[in-house]
């Protein structure tokens, strides 16, 4: 399982590296891949691929936490009614998915405890949002929501397809339509 994930990740890195802008030359053949909280993390593309129950639980918990914290900021720093309305929906939805995740993870044998520690990229995005207000915040928040929901969707689909724990695969698969809807709503904010 880990070998397949690493091969997929390596192939993805090579494809992404080849897609540079015209005139760019990339003489580096080094690929920076590490394991972080049970997930394979490609530092080049910043795409987490959960490869274990713990890795999936951590990815989902951190994703929910980022959505909740950034959306709480939007309630006070945002300017548009659409952003504030979207933020309120995200807080409610992600608090709900966190509760589902915790219940499912606790019911596993052995139980899994989700770690909602934000990744360095999530923390940087959150810190950047904290420094903004008004229309600038709205634009940055919309972009952050598209990015976060796309990453969450990719992680959910990957785990639903090849995860190692049936109950979490079912949870991931069940969340795909909701996260897809959130992604489309976030794209509408731009």
How do the domains of the chain map onto residue ranges? 51-189
Name the strand (E) or helix (H) holding 33. Answer: strand 33-36
Residue 95 is classified by DSSP as H
Which CATH entry fits the domain spanning 51-189: 1.20.1260.10, 3.40.1170.60, 3.40.50.300, 2.160.10.10?
1.20.1260.10
Lowest mean pLDDT, pick from 1-15, 130-144, 155-169? 1-15
The three-state secondary structure class of 117 is: coil
Q: Is the pTM of this model over 0.85?
A: no
pLDDT digits (tens, 9 = 90+) for 124-137: 999 999 999 999 99
pLDDT digits (tens, 9 = 90+) for 65-78: 999 999 999 999 99
Mean pLDDT of 46-74: 89
CA separation for the pair 17, 25 (Å, rounded): 10
CA separation for the pair 87, 94 (Å, rounded): 10
CA atoms within 13 A on the CB side of 87: 22
């Amino acid at each position: 399982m880990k070998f397949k994930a690493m091969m997929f990740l390596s192939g993805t890195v090579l494809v992404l590296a080849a897609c540079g802008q015209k005139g760019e030359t990339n003489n580096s053949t080094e690929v920076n891949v590490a394991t972080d909280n049970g997930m394979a993390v490609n530092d080049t593309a910043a795409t987490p691929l959960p490869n274990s129950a713990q890795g999936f639980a951590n990815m989902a918990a951190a994703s929910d936490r980022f959505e909740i914290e950034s959306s709480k900021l939007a309630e006070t720093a945002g300017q548009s009614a659409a952003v504030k309305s979207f933020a309120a929906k995200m807080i409610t939805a992600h608090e709900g998915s966190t509760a589902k995740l915790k219940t499912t993870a606790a019911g596993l044998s052995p139980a899994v405890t989700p770690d909602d520690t934000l990744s360095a990229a999530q923390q940087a995005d959150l810190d950047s949002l904290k420094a903004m207000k008004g229309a600038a915040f709205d634009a940055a928040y919309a972009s952050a929501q598209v990015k976060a929901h796309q990453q969450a969707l990719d992680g959910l689909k990957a785990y639903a397809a090849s995860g190692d724990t049936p109950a979490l695969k079912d949870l991931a698969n069940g969340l795909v339509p909701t996260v897809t809807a959130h992604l489309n709503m976030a794209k509408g904010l731009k």
